[in-house]
Each structure stands twice: as C-alpha cells, then as structure tokens.
Amino acid sequence: MPLYEYRCADCGAKFDELVASADEKVACPKCQSSKTEKLLSVFAAAVPSGAGAGAESCARPGCGSGFS
Ligand SMILES: [Zn+2]
C-alpha cells in the first residue's frame, strides 16, 4: 500500500498513513478530525517542481491556471 503524508486542518498535525486508496479519508491521530488533507507523496515530492514542469503532466482541473 502507498504511504501518504497528511496534514490536519484543525490542529495542524502532520502524519503519515498507509492507505489502500488515494481517495481514502483518514482521521487525525491527535484530534480525530476528519478534516485532513493529503500532501504530496514522497515519490511525487521527488519530482522537480517549477522550472517549466507543468501543464503536460497536470491532469487535475484548475491547476493549469494561465494555460489556455
Ligand atoms: Zn488534528
């Protein structure tokens, strides 16, 4: 299973979680809040960002601002 890093929107805690699906919701281990956001995975973070890396590899709507 992939390991993802999450951050809690309520208490700001960062934690790693093994999840079966990237869309799986996880609760904060500190405050049990479900308002957690998935950060970039270790693998994704290893990809150079900026420097022209962008539009072609971006499949998410809204992240290609400035690209028309
Ligand atoms: Zn929390």
Closest CA to 3 of 20, 17, 24, 23: 17
Per-residue confidence (pLDDT) for residue 33, from 0 to 100: 97
Is it the case that residue 40 has pLDDT exceeding 90?
no
Mean pLDDT of 50-58: 55
**12 CA to middle of ligand 1, Å?**
6
Range of the domain at 31: 3-48
**15 CA to middle of ligand 1, Å?**
10
**14 CA to middle of ligand 1, Å?**
8
Whole-angstrom CA distances from 37 to 1, 7, 9, 26, 65 are 18, 5, 7, 9, 21
In a domain, 57, yes or no: no
Per-residue confidence (pLDDT) for residue 15, from 0 to 100: 94
The verdict on pTM exceeding 0.75 is no
pLDDT digits (tens, 9 = 90+) for 5-26: 999 999 999 999 988 887 788 9
Give the total number of structural domains in the chain. Answer: 1
Per-residue confidence (pLDDT) for residue 26, from 0 to 100: 92
**13 CA to middle of ligand 1, Å?**
6
In a domain, 36, yes or no: yes
